[in-house]
């Protein structure tokens, strides 16, 4: 399935989505006095039109998905109440409540769609390890006590998977303690992230950020050395001093590395190996900050 917003920005779409949620909350909390059957019918139809208008659908899959998640007054869900002569108004409240819960859960799934404002083609084939990290990242970003389907997470994000893969991934994540199911009789691929799972994926993301930062610094240093050579500052002392920083930035904190860089550049400027202006420029390129100690 491909999910793409049409003629609306993500910010406006989710703001409108939340307004529907708030309206239903007020009714369910008894804050608004109106004819519940008429309101429920009009709300359900309004939500359908809203989703059909602003989300690119193929055969109304999203609407059908939502409809499968809640019962109508004619569904078997209500048969257990028939013997108790449940008042009609209670039936409508239950119907609206179930629809509200489904709609709210749909909003959570849509909130974790990558680039929902752009048409998404099928992603490159993901490794099993990448899929597990992807699931944990999405569950962690939801920051919810609700349980979510791995298959649905893949579906809304346009990720291919085999028939058995969601269940097997859920089993593996639960075995590792990174996720839990509602109970042993629940749908196999429906899970919630645990504190252990959140801690694992947050640590892994932090390491990725550090590696990305280190890679970016290495590229910047190579670019600076190339620029200095073109400007006539290709002396061995300049090359060695700056190139040494390439290995040290992976071993020092960002603050310590910046201070070391500043010290080296000040020394090079004092030794006339670099001009003050060039030293300042190099510092700004490598730290995105100005160097104020050289006058």
Per-residue pLDDT of the chain (295 residues; tens, 9 = 90+): 567 788 899 999 999 999 999 988 888 887 666 677 888 888 888 888 898 888 866 556 777 776 665 555 444 444 443 444 557 777 788 888 888 888 888 899 999 988 776 655 556 678 999 999 999 999 999 988 889 999 999 988 888 888 899 999 999 999 999 999 988 767 889 999 999 999 999 999 999 988 888 888 889 888 888 888 888 877 788 888 888 888 788 788 888 888 888 888 888 888 888 888 888 888 888 887 666 544 4
Q: Whose CA is closest to 239, among 256, 227, 252?
A: 227
Number of domains in the chain: 3
Q: What is the DSSP letter of 273?
A: S
Q: Are 183 and 153 in contact (CB under 8 A)?
A: no
Cβ-count burial of 132 within 10 angstroms (0-12 exposed, 13-18 middle, 19+ buried)? buried
Report if residue 262 sits inside a domain: yes
Q: 0.85 cut: is pTM over it?
A: no
Q: Which of 193, 216, 237 is the last residue of a domain?
A: 193
What range does the domain containing 158 cover?
Answer: 128-193
Report if residue 272 sits inside a domain: yes
Report if residue 186 sits inside a domain: yes
Report if residue 17 sits inside a domain: yes
> Residue 7: which region, alpha, beta or left (left: phi > 0; alpha: psi -120 to 50)?
left
Give the separation between CA 295 and CA 286, rounded to whole angstroms.
19
Report if residue 122 sits inside a domain: no
């Amino acid at each position: 399935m491909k999910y793409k917003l049409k003629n609306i920005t993500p910010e406006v779409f989710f703001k409108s989505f939340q307004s529907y949620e708030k309206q239903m909350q007020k009714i369910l909390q008894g804050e608004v006095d109106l004819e519940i059957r008429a309101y429920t019918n009009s709300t359900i139809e309004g939500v359908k039109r809203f989703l059909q208008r602003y989300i690119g659908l193929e055969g109304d899959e999203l609407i059908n998905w939502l409809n499968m998640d809640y019962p109508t007054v004619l569904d078997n869900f209500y048969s257990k109440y028939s013997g108790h002569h449940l008042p009609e108004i209670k039936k409508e409240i239950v119907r609206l409540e179930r629809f509200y819960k489904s709609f709210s859960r749909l909003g959570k799934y849509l909130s974790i769609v990558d680039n929902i404002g752009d048409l998404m083609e099928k992603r490159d084939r993901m490794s099993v390890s990448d899929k597990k990290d992807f699931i944990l990242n999405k569950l962690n970003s939801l920051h919810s006590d609700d349980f979510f389907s791995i298959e649905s997470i893949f579906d809304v994000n346009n990720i291919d998977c085999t028939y058995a893969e969601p269940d097997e991934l859920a089993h593996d994540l639960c075995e590792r303690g990174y996720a839990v199911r509602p109970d042993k009789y629940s749908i196999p691929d429906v899970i919630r992230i645990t504190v252990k799972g959140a801690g694992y994926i947050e640590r892994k993301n932090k390491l990725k950020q550090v590696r990305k930062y280190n890679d970016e610094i290495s590229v910047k240093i190579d670019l600076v050395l190339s620029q200095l050579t073109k400007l006539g500052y290709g002396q061995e002392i300049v090359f060695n001093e700056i190139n040494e920083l390439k290995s040290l930035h992976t071993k020092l904190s960002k603050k310590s590395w910046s201070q070391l860089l500043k010290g080296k550049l000040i020394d090079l400027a004092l030794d006339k190996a670099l001009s003050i202006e060039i030293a300042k420029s190099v510092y700004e390129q490598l730290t995105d900050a100005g160097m104020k100690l050289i006058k």
